[in-house]
Amino acid sequence: MSTQEKITHPLIESLQWRYATKKFDAAKKISNEDLELLKTALQLSASSYGLQPYKFIFIENPEVRKQLQPHSWGQSQIVEASHLLILANQLEVGDADVDALIELTAKTRNIPVDNLASYGTFMKTNIRQVPVEAKAFWNAKQAYIALGFLLTSAAELKIDTCPIEGFEPEAYDHILNLKAQGLTSAVVAAIGYRSVEDMTLNLAKVRKSKEELFMTI
């Protein structure tokens, strides 16, 4: 199937509708109800072992967003979008994170903690073998999985997004005091509603064909 052919389905229609919004309507704000839906979608994101080694930081303070803009290639989305989200991953993950997950699992599923002891040991053994630098990179990949959940969920709600990698993580970390919290900025997402003045609004979506993208072995 070529990129020009269309599949009629609500999911595909939502994904066709979304694009990386370059100019937001600063007057339009996301409702509290829709914001909670997006937060729940992020909460339900998949992550390796279910550890969720990240924090989702919504920047609503306009002054803080102005401070971040020069460290974001001056992009207007930083200050114009309804909400700015920083997906920050943990710098480290270790035994304490595993213990917390085991306790939460036992409580949620109403089973004894001891029943999960061997699984906890399995996770700890594997994680201890990973160098610290590699752990931070692994954690960042989990944040990117959550970003995918955000983009798809927002499209379903007809909320625009723009994932942003064009920013200076160290500057963000300093302004938001993330390193002191054991965190670092992985990726940024502007969330809100497209402006009619966005020059990319009506451009056709460009994607490789399925023949180029998929292999069956």
Q: Which two tokens stand for residue 216?
A: 């069956």
CA gap 160, 150 in Å, rounded: 10
Mean pLDDT throughout 125-154? 97
The answer to whether the pTM exceeds 0.85 is yes
Which residue do the tokens 């460290």 mark? 71
Class of residue 140 by CB neighbours under 10 A (exposed 0-12, middle 13-18, buried 19+): buried
For residue range 52-79, list pLDDT tens digits in order: 999 999 999 999 999 999 999 999 999 9
Q: Is residue 167 part of a domain?
A: yes
Which residue do the tokens 């004894």 mark? 112
Q: Is residue 128 part of a domain?
A: no
For residue range 35-50, list pLDDT tens digits in order: 999 999 999 999 999 9
Residue 87 pLDDT > 60, yes or no?
yes
Q: Closest Cα to residue 163, out of 142, 144, 181?
A: 144
Residue 134 pLDDT > 80, yes or no?
yes
Q: Is residue 121 part of a domain?
A: no
Residue 1 pLDDT > 70, yes or no?
no
Torsion, CA 63, CA 64, CA 67, CA 73, rounded to 10 = -120
Task: Give pLDDT, residue 7.
Answer: 83
Q: Is residue 34 part of a domain?
A: yes
Which residue do the tokens 């390796």 mark? 48
Residue 204 pLDDT > 80, yes or no?
yes
For residue range 88-106, list pLDDT tens digits in order: 999 999 999 999 999 999 9
Q: Any idea what the Cα angle at residue 205 is, between residues 201 and 211, rounded to 5°?
A: 175
Structurally, the chain folds into a number of domains equal to 1
Residue type, 102: I
Q: Is residue 49 part of a domain?
A: yes
Q: Which residues contact 163 (CB under 8 A, 6 or more apart)?
A: 20, 147, 151, 187, 188, 189
Task: Give pLDDT, residue 6.
Answer: 73
CA gap 192, 31 in Å, rounded: 10
Task: Give pLDDT, residue 5.
Answer: 63
Mean pLDDT throughout 208-212? 97
Among residues of the chain, what percentage have pLDDT more than 90?
96
CATH of the domain at 39: 3.40.109.10
Q: Answer for the pair 33, 125: CB distance below 8 angstroms, yes or no.
A: no
Q: Structural domain of residue 81, as residue ranges? A: 10-92+133-213
CA gap 48, 102 in Å, rounded: 14
Q: Answer for the pair 192, 158: CB distance below 8 angstroms, yes or no.
A: no
Task: Give pLDDT, residue 163.
Answer: 98
Q: Is residue 42 part of a domain?
A: yes
Residue 164 is classified by DSSP as E
Residue 115 is classified by DSSP as G
Mean pLDDT throughout 181-189? 98
Q: Which two tokens stand for residue 55?
A: 């924090």
CA gap 196, 21 in Å, rounded: 11
Q: 164 pairs with which residues across the strands? A: 188
Q: Is residue 101 part of a domain?
A: no
Residue 2 pLDDT > 50, yes or no?
no
